[in-house]
Amino acid sequence: EVQLVQSGAEVKKPGESLKISCKGSGNNFNNYWIAWVRQMPGKGLEWIGIIYPGDSETRYSPSFQGQVTISADKSITTAFLQWSSLKASDTATYYCTRQTRTAPYYFDYWGQGSLVIVSS
């Protein structure tokens, strides 16, 4: 069974750094693209970017390029999303999700979400 298990809730102050994780189980995690999606409180879904853990090829939405860093460690079948300097506007729930292997691509498995609260 495919599972994406995300790290727990975080409360941070503006300017602090943060790295959240998404650990995959099941076959062939490293052969699927893993995306990150933001959902601000009471708002909709926003696609941040995507990574292929097999070779760490990464693509970002223009809206998030330079604001976050997506990475992966294939040895532990885990993808990461990180910030070097958090802002209050980064407060949101962040989901990781697996993209299907064949086109047309969509997101078939989702993590449970990681709540990030940034407040002074």
CA-closest candidate to residue 36, choices 101, 83, 104: 83
Q: Helix, strand, or coil here: 97?
A: strand
Contact 90, 116 (CB under 8 A): yes
Q: Does 61 bind another protein (CB under 8 A)?
A: yes
To another protein, the closest distance from the beta carbon of 88 in angstroms equals: 22
Please give the distance of CA 43 from its chain centroid, rounded to a whole number: 17
Region near another protein per CB under 8 A, out of 7-15, 16-24, 60-68, 73-81: 60-68
Which of 83, 111, 114, 116 is the binder for another protein (CB under 8 A)?
A: 111
Residue with tokens 């969509």: 106
Tell me which residues touch another protein (CB under 8 A). 35, 37, 44-47, 50, 59, 61-63, 95, 97, 104-108, 110-113
